[in-house]
Amino acid sequence: MFAALGYVLRTYVTDTHLLKKMAWAMPLILIGLMLWLPNIQGYRGLSAVVSMMWIMLAAFVWQKADGRSLHLLLVAGLLGLFVFRLLLDAGAEKITISHLPVGVFVLWQVHALGALAGAVAWYLSQTAPRDLDR
């Protein structure tokens, strides 16, 4: 998923631009996670970064839509899938469909923080010098 989103995002931003966004976003996501869930023992994974890239992709597609219904439908689908995933993860303890090892849990808060970082990264890319964007 990570590689696929990165490849698609290359349509909208350069690799360097995307890496710069991740460089500041990842530490902030972890700080946000420590503040939101101070009792967490550890976080391993890329789900926050995947969430960030997912929201960035939806925002860039929305920006390029120019009223075209197919693009807007794609944005609605991307956001709808993300919200569905977030709600599913939030109720994962009750549903228990995850294939994670015993004692390892899905933290929906990580995905929410990643989404927030993606929205901020997209917004900042709108104010960044244009030579970074394609």
Nearest to 56 by CA among 88, 87, 79, 28: 79
CA distance 59 to 121: 10
Q: What is residue 131's predicted lDDT score, i.e. its pLDDT?
A: 46
CA distance 46 to 44: 7
Residue keyed to tokens 């992709």: 57
Q: What is residue 1's predicted lDDT score, i.e. its pLDDT?
A: 63
Q: Which residues, at least 6 apart from 75, have a Cβ–Cβ distance to it below 8 Å? A: 58, 61, 62, 65
Q: What is residue 113's predicted lDDT score, i.e. its pLDDT?
A: 92
| Per-residue tens of pLDDT for the chain, all 134 residues | 667 776 677 777 776 777 777 788 888 888 998 899 888 877 777 888 889 888 888 888 888 877 778 878 888 888 998 999 888 888 765 555 556 677 666 788 889 999 999 888 888 877 765 544 44
CA distance 127 to 134: 14
**DSSP-based helix, strand, coil % in the chain, nearest 5:** 70, 0, 25
Q: What is residue 43's predicted lDDT score, i.e. its pLDDT?
A: 77
Three-state DSSP state, 123:
helix
Residue keyed to tokens 């990580």: 110
Total domain count for the chain? 1
- Structural domain boundaries, residue 71: 2-132
Residue keyed to tokens 């109720």: 91
